């Protein structure tokens, strides 16, 4: 199965319609599945998502998406989720779908930091809640991956699971770009490959400590890599 992967498409409205249709047409030509790792919209507004869905509903291959932080900006993530549920697009939000013997599991993920600099849930309640949110999304991802009975397991995230793919961003903001809890979930869930976005200035690829390939497919990263198309193709 060939997967076309991208993230951070940032639909802003009708001015983006042709760009998004072109992306969907290209993915359908080059791959069997299209995945989008969050930041579907600029500000989480229904009218922004509707422009993207118009493009994706015309796409003849399965499409899997997660939400990103931009999709929460207007406080209407539930409304966006309902629009997605009414479309042909599969929203993976602590959930999984199997297509042609390949399992797809997705979560938005969250912050927390990486490796020895990861934050601990200690101190004020607000700080504990911030750290715990990342842990809970990682636990949900691990659970979803483990319950898949497929040999090939694809993980779709928005936030990064490893430090390697956020390098290039200022070190001061690394803790806000992802968490190592997600990397442990990928390893313990025996993922085949993982895709994420969010880190627009990060590196293109890396691996978890257990060796799972991780691709930062944020659109600005793909543009920096000078790929032929606005998505990355991986065969699993």
Reading the block at residue 2, the tokens are 């060939």
- The β-bridge relationship of strands 232-235 and 2-6 is antiparallel
Domain carrying residue 139: 2-235
What does each of the 236 residues of the chain score in pLDDT, given as a tens digit? Answer: 999 999 999 999 899 999 999 999 999 999 999 999 999 999 999 999 999 999 999 899 999 999 999 999 999 999 999 999 999 999 999 999 999 999 999 999 999 999 999 999 999 999 999 999 999 999 999 999 999 999 999 999 999 999 999 999 999 999 999 999 999 999 999 999 999 999 999 999 999 999 999 999 999 999 999 998 999 999 99
How many Cβ atoms sit within 10 Å of the Cβ of residue 126? Answer: 7
Q: Where are the alpha helices (DSSP H) in 86-179?
A: 125-147
CB-based burial, 70-98: b 16+ in 10 Å, e otherwise: bbbebebbeebeebbeebebbbbebebbe
How many Cβ atoms sit within 10 Å of the Cβ of residue 158? Answer: 30
Total number of domains constituting the chain:
1
CATH of the domain at 222: 3.60.21.10
- The β-bridge relationship of strands 95-99 and 63-66 is unpaired
């Amino acid at each position: 199965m060939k997967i076309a992967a991208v993230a951070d498409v940032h639909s802003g409205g009708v001015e983006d319609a042709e760009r998004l249709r072109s992306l969907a047409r290209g993915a359908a030509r080059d791959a069997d599945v299209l995945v989008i790792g969050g930041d579907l919209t600029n500000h989480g507004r229904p009218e922004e998502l509707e422009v993207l869905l118009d493009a994706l509903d015309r796409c003849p291959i399965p499409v899997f998406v997660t939400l990103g932080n931009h999709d929460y900006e207007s406080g209407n993530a539930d409304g966006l989720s309902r629009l997605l549920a009414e479309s042909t697009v599969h929203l993976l939000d602590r959930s999984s779908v199997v297509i042609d013997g390949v399992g797809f599991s997705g979560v938005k993920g969250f912050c927390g930091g990486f490796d020895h600099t990861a934050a601990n849930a200690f101190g004020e309640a607000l700080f504990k809640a911030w750290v715990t949110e990342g842990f809970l999304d990682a636990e949900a991802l691990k659970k979803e991956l483990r319950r898949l009975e497929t040999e090939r397991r694809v993980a779709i995230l928005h936030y990064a699971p490893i430090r390697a793919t956020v390098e290039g961003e200022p070190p001061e903001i690394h803790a806000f770009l992802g968490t190592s809890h997600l990397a442990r979930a990928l390893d313990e869930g025996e993922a085949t490959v993982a895709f994420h976005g969010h880190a627009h200035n990060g590196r293109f690829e890396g691996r978890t400590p257990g060796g799972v390939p991780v691709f930062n497919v944020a659109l600005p990263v793909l543009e920096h890599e000078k790929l032929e198309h606005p998505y990355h193709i991986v065969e699993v």
